[in-house]
Each structure stands twice: as C-alpha cells, then as structure tokens.
Chains A and B, each alone.
Chain A
Amino acid sequence: QSALTQPPSASGSPGQSVTISCTGTSSDVGGYNYVSWYQQHSGKAPKLMIYEVSKRPSGVPDRFSGSKSGNTASLTVSGLQAEDEADYYCSSYAGSNNYVFGTGTKVTVL
C-alpha cells in the first residue's frame, strides 16, 4: 500500500488561507468517504482535525475545513494563526480493513 501524496510544505501569512492536497487512488481516497486529517506539533502526538472528508470533531475551530474531488482530498486552514504551524497528515481507508497515511505537509506561518 503506497502512502498518499502530499506536498512537503505550505505556507501563509497570519490571516491568510492555506490549502493542502492529498492525492491517492480510486482504491483509497477516491473509493471511500473516509478521509481524515491530523495536526502534529513537534514532539507531540497527532490530533484529529477532520474526519469523513469534511466533519470536524468537537473543539476543532471552523477555520479548518475538508473536501474531496475524485482521488484528491484537501484541507484548508483559513485565517491562519501562529499556532497552526505544524505538520499535517491525511489518511484514508483503503479497503479490506487497511488504512493509509499521507506523506505529510509542514505548514509554516510566515
């Protein structure tokens, strides 16, 4: 199972928006509405930010939103804040009780 493809880095100034892509195949991202996004600050455990493509867990700011088109999912962070600087990973169900994560994107707040 190959990792989902994410850009290595993304950046934006405070208040701006940044969008991260997550590209898979029809066997994972494109085949199921089970794409999730995680935020990981340095030295910390990942935190679930988006599940089932576009749903936000309780407590996650609505500045974080998710979407999907075909084999590519996207995470948009609007109104960037300093604390949004972190690594972001996507994941997808890949069928047959398997899951796959993305390669990760480092978001920098300029």
Chain B
Amino acid sequence: SYELTQPPSVSVSPGQTARITCSGDALSKKYAYWYQQKSGQAPVLVIYEDTKRPSGIPERFSGSSSGTVATLTINGAQVEDEAGYYCYSTDSNDNHRLFGGGTKLTVL
C-alpha cells in the first residue's frame, strides 16, 4: 500500500534552518500538504500544494518538492516551532487520505 515516509525526529538550535522531508511515489504527481501539531493541540495546516503558505503562517515556513520528495523548511526556527509535523496527500489509486508518520521537531 502507498506510504509517505518522514524521519522520526529532527533537532536544531534556535535560529537554525530545519528541514523535514516526506517521500512517497505519488508525490511526483500529487501535491503535498504539511500540518503542524503542538503538544495537546489539534493540527494546523502550514503549507499546502507543496509551496503555498496559508494566511497567518509565518514567512519562515516554506515548502518545496522535487520528484518524489517534498520538503518543509523552517528558516530561523524558533522555540515555539517545536512540534510534530505531518505531511499529507492522497493515494493515487483510491484517493484514500494519507498522513506521513510524523516528524518531531526539537528546537533547543
């Protein structure tokens, strides 16, 4: 079955650039979406259609995609960016919704 693969954890110091990858065969044909989930809270969309940022999301969040890998980049990561990050897309065959396994970002 189709999967989206993320690294379990990424760690950076405040002010550094954090990069979180998401790989999946269908990402060459389907857009990736990224959700941020802080501890005890519901997820929030931070990037849609690979590169677009919803209103209210800080400019330090950006997205890119090449081939079968989508990347979420946080330039100048802040302590408040510490959270779980999930990529999302849909299966090419049956359109089932699919989340990546999630990446725990630590900023300290």
Partners in one complex: no
Identify the A interface with B (CB < 8 A): none
**Interface residues, chain B, CB within 8 Å of chain A?**
none
